[in-house]
Chain A
Amino acid sequence: MRLTGKTVLITGAARGLGRATALACAAEGADLVLLDLCEDLDGVPYPLGTRGQLEHTATLCRKQGVTVLPVACDVRDLDAVERAVALAEDRFGRVDGVVNNAGIAAPSGKPVHEIGEAEWALMIDVDLSGAWRVTRAVAGAMSARRSGSIVNVSSTAGLVGYRHFAGYVAAKHGLIGLTKAAALDYAPTKVRVNAVCPGSVRDDATAEGRMLAEIARALEVQVGEHEQTFTEAQPMNSLIEPEDVAAAVVYLLSDDARQVTGSVLTVDGGFTAR
């Protein structure tokens, strides 16, 4: 039990990678603060996580014997983020770990000159600025306690380019930049900031993930065809499972990684090794 006695706050926890990460943290004994927008967003062409999905994640975690506080929260709203963090501190006394997982894959699927101002702004606002807002809300208290671990869920799109995904790629590259800069900001106070870069993650039925499907749709290809393409592109010849990414996140949250900060851990089956 590597996270016993710790409280971990996870954004985008209703489903997919967020749910898998929450379950992995619960299995390691962490109490959880689970955030999700729980609403659809104008401009995002697919349905986002729901209240029911967030509650389901909470129920699954409680079965592991931990205490869970689910909170509906929009990471685009600094006040809302600060309220959620205050609630978490009131309930659990402290927040030891943060997983900035909330993110959207679309609107995408077009070259740069076709992206609208609002589309660009929305992508950056959720995928990059959201992580900044949560970090802003927790880092002061973590620094004062001289302990804490923040994990930003970036992507291989934070390391290399993808055709017709300029907004997403820019946001995920930015997230790695934020990770490294914040790591230096807080290293003196022993607060660690790291990034995880998953490759193509399979849409797990029980995790209710749909990232891969939405990327395929943005590229106007069939999911099966897209899976095939990325399975072949990843040298280990398989897709990434949500649990693989969650395990990397748990490591970075745990004291095992107490000297690891500013690092970028790829979980991509070797995709970026070439």
Chain B
Amino acid sequence: MVGEQCHALRLRLSRPATDAELTARLATAGPWQLWVEHVAAPADSPEARRLGDAELSRPTSAVRCVVLRHGDGVVDLVLVADRAVLDQEGLHDLAATLAAGADGAAGVGRAPTAGSRSAVGEAGTRDVPAPAPSGVAAAPAPDWGGGRRGAVGGETLSLDLADPVDPSALLPALALVLNRYAGHGATGDVTLATDRRGALAHAIPAQSTLAGLRDLVATPTRQPVTVGVVEPGAPVTGAAAGAEYRPCLAPPFPLTLWVRPEASRITAVYRRSHFAPEVVDGFLRHLAHVLGQFVEHPDRPVDEVELLDADERRRVAALGRPATAPTGEPARLTDAFAEVVAARPDAPAVGDGRTSLTYAELDARADLLARGLVARGVAPGDRVGVCLERTTELVVSMLGVLKAGAAYVPTDPAYPADRLAHTTRDAALRLVVTRNPEHPTEDCTTVTPDELVDTSATLGPVELPGAQGPDAPAYVIYTSGSTGRPKGVVVPHRNVVALVDATRDEYGLGPADVWTFFHSGAFDFSVWEIWGSLLTGGRLVVVPYLVSREPDEFRELLERERVTVLSQTPSAFSQLLETDHAALAVRLVVFGGEPLDARMLLRWFDRHPEPECRMVNMFGITETTVHVTAQTLTRELALAGSKSVGPALPGWHLYVADERGRLVPPGVTGEIRVGGAGVALGYLGQPELTAARFTPDPYADGVQYHSGDLGRLRPDGTLEHLGRIDSQVKIRGFRIELDEIRSVLLEDPDVRAAAVVVRRDDPADPATARLDAYVVPAAVDTVGVRKRAATVLPGYMLPATVTALDTLPLTSNGKLDAARLPEPVRAAVVPSAADGAGQDTASVLREIWSTVLGQAVGLDDDFFELGGNSLLAVRISAALRGRGLPPVPLRDLFRTPTIRELAGAGSGA
């Protein structure tokens, strides 16, 4: 007696009948009792409706007949039956018998089908009972369903169609829709169930047409099902034709569909634990749209079937656009900056501990530098390299380049010479502002900021060029690319201004704020830090590189400077959390650069409750100007481990598309595409790649960028980010294309084949992530390979280990079988005679290093060779403090990366 096995109908009696007459008619059908309820309210009142609905949803172990006599004289009949006792036809026959009496029943105009008219047996069972859908396992809630965990009960939704449903198209159409809902990377295998036939496996052939899909072969399976169908019986005519039929009182499948052919109506009964109403609503519309194409376009290839019609595409596109409209007009960074200078010339603009500048001073200094650039032949539209440590003069230089009408191309002085040379060549830089004497000069000249200012001073007044439009490039930032070498992303002025406009009001950014400039100028997170501060009148505090790598020193800086706006990668922030951060004045933390596990914020919230400090997770891409979405995190979301990265910023648009570029329904996984105010101009000097990744936005003016990231849009317009489609990964905030590292390894003359994988020593701990490289042949000198790679790759892209193999393990498809790669060979640990015990500091250090690095450590092993990084250095310092020993600053570790040297230095102190 469960709702899944019961069905019900409600029929309004057109001819009055007494209780005695109805009882007599019922007696001709079976041994069931007639229940009579007198309802004072009129039949169509909400109260009477509710009582009737309650009758329709009460299960029974046999058959229940209820007569509802309403205050206005209207009589409704409600019949509920176990499907094993009375099937669909039997239930309608019983209704007709009761409604029309014996005379009417004989004339019910039901198309007789084999077995459908069989009599009701003595014990109330029919001789051909429909089997109940037992033995079908329900699948867990699908990730696209939007269900509410722990919710009980089912709900019902219906959709009326324009045309009657062709029963032979129903299952194929449903299989197709379900296959599309499986999202990115789905195979053609779909499991569906029906109440009569149980679970059925379908394999959708990619080459088929819709007409061909009608012959889709279904084979019985034991796979759990998400969606099932209650098979419709023959069309009902006659006395019971107007009956309202409920195929099941509780959904036998997580999502149960029933199509009433003659009424052209699809009804869905779904479990609330598995589905949100708006998702089921959409599912029905998509099924209807596909069913329509079976009729109108039978020759259409399966692959070209549309899930969404034009209206729905507009609706889904609108879902990815924020409700708040962007404010502000397109403008140049320099013009937006000039407004701030004019408003608050004497307010502090930027400082690095040595040099502090007010807005007016910064403006004047940048003017001088710009004149120096113009004097050296820099013209509007040019690109000028900027390769400086994080300092005030880096900010002056960037602004100066912009004032000269050019775009700046930032690189990090810590990059290997080869990478600097690549950028110089690729961006065709003729001039690079740098203090790095090692900067390659084959293709360009280098100049220091001082020289530029001196030039300007000696030449006297030089006119700065007239204003270019806001569409002109402001900067070119190089990011990892799947083509093997980094590519330059060209971002125009107006994008950065739009980014600040999109966030200024929401986050109350203004002159009272103090920002950090924490990230490398070559990492576009710093674009947000620099211009977010300078365009809102804030004070920008430059964080020197070594301070940015020492959580305790960084915390001191945050306290000393009373920093209010902090931008961090989750990895960096987790280090800050290790410190005593209670006294910080930070009121806004913006996360970016890598996925955030919101649970780590609980420790922060303990000390800094939500009203005091807002935590915002922003998902972004260099190609869309730093950020795309913003999700304010709360203790509630942190406890729930929320994966949402929030809705798009005002002016930015989010789309999620399938492999063919069609929008997918909310909840379904696809490629994230971004349109609107943040889309870059393209890749420098790569028109083909630009044309492939930057395409016209079909739903708005402008261009959309194909991110190559997977995601799903939730019905509320927020995005869930699900990672990279290709091999790109992020380690400690750095975007890394494994193929790029691999291609560098393959450039080594000794290497014939190579593979690079990301592993974690502790799967739960992102700080232990490391790159392991494998090279062929086995005889190769791995130390030499790593050293040569180090001349090309920045530190964060250099594999921690290089292991030589005879061959790389491959899958049957000929792809790398990463799971079968052996454990990496760590840098050799050679215990030397001097490694005796009892060496106090040295033995403590060895013990701690071994624990933190997860391997045996010798006195002369290089910390970085053993896979050490800044995060692990912090742990070593913490462990030392725990034993009452002085911590080892990272800068010491760089200088003296072995225990012998460290212990020697320490014992002298």
The chain A residues found within 8 Å of chain B, CB to CB, are 5, 31, 62, 65, 67, 89-94
Complex Cα–Cα for A91 and B58 (A):
9
Beta-carbon contact of A93 and B60 below 8 Å: yes
| Interface-lining segment among B46-54, B756-764, B766-774 | B46-54
Taking CB atoms, residues of chain A closer than 8 Å to B1 are 89, 93-94
Nearest residue, chain A, Cβ from B48: A65
Beta-carbon contact of B54 and A67 below 8 Å: yes
Beta-carbon contact of A91 and B54 below 8 Å: no
CB of A7 to closest CB in B, whole Å:
9
CB of B55 to closest CB in A, whole Å:
8
Complex Cα–Cα for A67 and B39 (A):
9
Complex Cα–Cα for A91 and B47 (A):
20
Tell me which residues from 1 to 43 in chain B have a Cβ below 8 Å from any Cβ of chain A.
Answer: 1, 33, 35, 37, 40
Number of residues of chain B lying within 8 A (CB) of chain A: 16
Taking CB atoms, residues of chain B closer than 8 Å to A89 are 1, 61
CB of A29 to closest CB in B, whole Å:
9
Taking CB atoms, residues of chain B closer than 8 Å to A65 are 47, 50-51
Beta-carbon contact of A90 and B51 below 8 Å: no
Complex Cα–Cα for A90 and B59 (A):
9
Taking CB atoms, residues of chain B closer than 8 Å to A31 are 54
User: Do A93 and B54 contact each other (CB < 8 Å), given the known contacts A65-B47, A67-B37?
Assistant: no
Which listed residue, A5, A62, A90, touches B60 by the CB 8 Å rule?
Answer: A90
Complex Cα–Cα for A244 and B887 (A):
67
Beta-carbon contact of B59 and A91 below 8 Å: no
Interface string of B69-94 (1 = CB under 8 A from A): 00000000000100000000000000
Complex Cα–Cα for A65 and B41 (A):
10
Taking CB atoms, residues of chain B closer than 8 Å to A92 are 58
26 A-B contacts (beta carbon < 8 Å):
A5-B54, A31-B54, A62-B40, A65-B47, A65-B50, A65-B51, A67-B37, A67-B51, A67-B54, A67-B55, A89-B1, A89-B61, A90-B33, A90-B60, A90-B64, A91-B35, A92-B58, A93-B1, A93-B58, A93-B59, A93-B60, A93-B61, A93-B64, A93-B80, A94-B1, A94-B59
CB of B258 to closest CB in A, whole Å:
21
Complex Cα–Cα for A247 and B51 (A):
24
- 7 A-B pairs with the lowest CB-CB distances in the bound complex, closest first: A93-B59, A93-B58, A93-B60, A65-B47, A92-B58, A93-B1, A91-B35
Complex Cα–Cα for A5 and B56 (A):
12
CB of A190 to closest CB in B, whole Å:
13
CB of B67 to closest CB in A, whole Å:
13
CB of B59 to closest CB in A, whole Å:
4
Taking CB atoms, residues of chain A closer than 8 Å to B58 are 92-93
Complex Cα–Cα for A89 and B58 (A):
10
Taking CB atoms, residues of chain A closer than 8 Å to B33 are 90
Nearest residue, chain B, Cβ from A7: B58
Nearest residue, chain B, Cβ from A144: B1
Nearest residue, chain B, Cβ from A255: B152
CB of B181 to closest CB in A, whole Å:
31
Nearest residue, chain A, Cβ from B58: A93
CB of A260 to closest CB in B, whole Å:
19
CB of B149 to closest CB in A, whole Å:
17
CB of A138 to closest CB in B, whole Å:
14
Complex Cα–Cα for A93 and B64 (A):
9
Tell me which residues from 283 to 309 in chain B have a Cβ below 8 Å from any Cβ of chain A.
Answer: none
Complex Cα–Cα for A67 and B40 (A):
12
Taking CB atoms, residues of chain B closer than 8 Å to A90 are 33, 60, 64
CB of B8 to closest CB in A, whole Å:
11
CB of A67 to closest CB in B, whole Å:
6
CB of A153 to closest CB in B, whole Å:
27
Beta-carbon contact of A91 and B64 below 8 Å: yes
Complex Cα–Cα for A89 and B35 (A):
13
Interface string of B265-292 (1 = CB under 8 A from A): 0000000000000000000000000000
Taking CB atoms, residues of chain B closer than 8 Å to A91 are 35, 64
Please give 4 more A-B residue pairs, beta carbons under 8 A apart, in addition to A67-B37, A91-B35, A94-B1: A62-B40, A67-B54, A90-B60, A90-B64
Complex Cα–Cα for A223 and B58 (A):
46
Complex Cα–Cα for A96 and B50 (A):
20
Complex Cα–Cα for A83 and B93 (A):
30
Taking CB atoms, residues of chain B closer than 8 Å to A5 are 54
Complex Cα–Cα for A92 and B64 (A):
9
CB of A256 to closest CB in B, whole Å:
15
CB of A56 to closest CB in B, whole Å:
15
Taking CB atoms, residues of chain A closer than 8 Å to B47 are 65
CB of A65 to closest CB in B, whole Å:
6
Complex Cα–Cα for A65 and B45 (A):
12
CB of A82 to closest CB in B, whole Å:
16
Taking CB atoms, residues of chain A closer than 8 Å to B54 are 5, 31, 67
Complex Cα–Cα for A67 and B55 (A):
9
CB of A212 to closest CB in B, whole Å:
34
CB of B431 to closest CB in A, whole Å:
74
Nearest residue, chain A, Cβ from B38: A62
Most buried by A among B55, B58, B61: B58
Taking CB atoms, residues of chain A closer than 8 Å to B55 are 67
Complex Cα–Cα for A264 and B457 (A):
93
Nearest residue, chain A, Cβ from B3: A93
CB of B425 to closest CB in A, whole Å:
70
Complex Cα–Cα for A62 and B50 (A):
13
Most buried by B among A31, A67, A91, A93: A93
Interface string of B645-676 (1 = CB under 8 A from A): 00000000000000000000000000000000
Complex Cα–Cα for A92 and B33 (A):
13
Complex Cα–Cα for A89 and B60 (A):
8
Taking CB atoms, residues of chain B closer than 8 Å to A67 are 37, 51, 54-55
CB of A85 to closest CB in B, whole Å:
13
Interface string of B511-535 (1 = CB under 8 A from A): 0000000000000000000000000
Taking CB atoms, residues of chain B closer than 8 Å to A62 are 40
Complex Cα–Cα for A92 and B6 (A):
13
Complex Cα–Cα for A93 and B59 (A):
5
Nearest residue, chain A, Cβ from B32: A90
Complex Cα–Cα for A62 and B54 (A):
14
CB of A210 to closest CB in B, whole Å:
30
Complex Cα–Cα for A189 and B268 (A):
32
Taking CB atoms, residues of chain B closer than 8 Å to A93 are 1, 58-61, 64, 80
Tell me which residues from 598 to 634 in chain B have a Cβ below 8 Å from any Cβ of chain A.
Answer: none
Nearest residue, chain A, Cβ from B55: A67
Complex Cα–Cα for A31 and B33 (A):
19
Taking CB atoms, residues of chain A closer than 8 Å to B35 are 91
Complex Cα–Cα for A99 and B583 (A):
59
Complex Cα–Cα for A31 and B37 (A):
13
Complex Cα–Cα for A192 and B533 (A):
62
Taking CB atoms, residues of chain B closer than 8 Å to A94 are 1, 59
Taking CB atoms, residues of chain A closer than 8 Å to B64 are 90-91, 93
Complex Cα–Cα for A169 and B698 (A):
82
Complex Cα–Cα for A89 and B64 (A):
11
CB of A70 to closest CB in B, whole Å:
12
CB of B78 to closest CB in A, whole Å:
11
Nearest residue, chain B, Cβ from A4: B54
Nearest residue, chain B, Cβ from A68: B37
Complex Cα–Cα for A229 and B51 (A):
46
Complex Cα–Cα for A62 and B48 (A):
12
CB of B495 to closest CB in A, whole Å:
54
Taking CB atoms, residues of chain A closer than 8 Å to B37 are 67
Nearest residue, chain B, Cβ from A62: B40
Taking CB atoms, residues of chain A closer than 8 Å to B51 are 65, 67
Complex Cα–Cα for A62 and B59 (A):
21
CB of A254 to closest CB in B, whole Å:
14
Complex Cα–Cα for A65 and B51 (A):
7
Complex Cα–Cα for A94 and B40 (A):
25
Nearest residue, chain A, Cβ from B50: A65
Complex Cα–Cα for A245 and B396 (A):
78
Taking CB atoms, residues of chain A closer than 8 Å to B40 are 62
Interface string of B422-440 (1 = CB under 8 A from A): 0000000000000000000
Nearest residue, chain A, Cβ from B39: A62
Complex Cα–Cα for A31 and B55 (A):
11
